[in-house]
Amino acid sequence: MALCAYCVECLCAVFFASICLIVLVQVVARFVLKIPTPWSEELARYLLVVLTFLGASISIREESHLIALDIFGGRSATTEKIGRLIVGGVVLFVNVVFTRNSFRMSAIAGTEMASSMVWLKTSYLYDLISLGFLLSCLFSASLILETLFVSKSEKAQ
């Protein structure tokens, strides 16, 4: 599971660096060379959307996604565990629904092309968003199982 999270973090770093580079190219082309590049703005936007969903899966893995967990903090161990299971269950349910529907959107988009980038099918973008939701489901399920079967003392080690 840690390897999967590491790979997603690396992918997010590559996407972020790509966004920075693409926006730099756009600024230089538009304001220095006076040659606007319509594809660069659109590609940067798509990468930002994908980065958002992949980053959300990492925040779930690191348990930095919800402040709702703080409501149960400082209470008895049983109450805290029940709270973590409730929050984890809700997050898992929402991500399962979104995963299912994002795969549907990918099928609906089919072979539609992104407007200024003929080589980029819209379904590819939905597939990457689906990957983000799928990873969120995986990480949520992992945290639920960890809450159920791993004690706090074992987590500390």
22 domain-assigned: no
Does position 33 have pLDDT exceeding 80, yes or no? yes
In a domain, 19, yes or no: no
How does residue 69 score in pLDDT terms, banded at 50, 70 and 90? low
> Does a structural domain hold residue 113?
yes
Q: Is the pTM of this model over 0.85?
A: no
140, 58 Cβ separation under 8 angstroms: no
Alpha-carbon gap, residue 11 to 97, rounded angstroms: 24
User: Residue 38: its pLDDT value, please?
Assistant: 83
Residues 129-152: what's their mean pLDDT? Answer: 90
- Is a pLDDT exceeding 90 seen at residue 73? no
Mean pLDDT of 5-15: 94
Domain hosting residue 83, numbered range: 45-151
Q: Are 105 and 74 in contact (CB under 8 A)?
A: no
Q: Output the six-digit token pair for 99.
A: 């995963």
Q: Is residue 16 part of a domain?
A: no
Confidence at residue 92, expressed as pLDDT on a 0 to 100 scale: 93
Which residue would you say has higher pLDDT here, 97 or 63? 97
Q: Give CA–CA dist 132/98, Å, rounded.
A: 10
| pLDDT of 151 | 73
If one counts every other C-beta atom within 10 angstroms of the C-beta of residue 117, the result is 14
For residues 102 and 54, the answer to whether their CB atoms sit within 8 Å is: no
Higher pLDDT, 74 or 39: 39
Residue 1 within a domain? no
Question: Across residues 22-32, what is the average pLDDT?
Answer: 93
9 in a structural domain: no
Domain count, the chain: 1
Whether the pLDDT of residue 121 is over 80: the answer is yes
pLDDT above 80: residue 71: no
Span 89-113, average pLDDT: 90
- The answer to whether residue 88 is domain-embedded is yes
Residue 147 is assigned to a structural domain of this protein:
yes
**Stretch 75-103: mean pLDDT:** 88
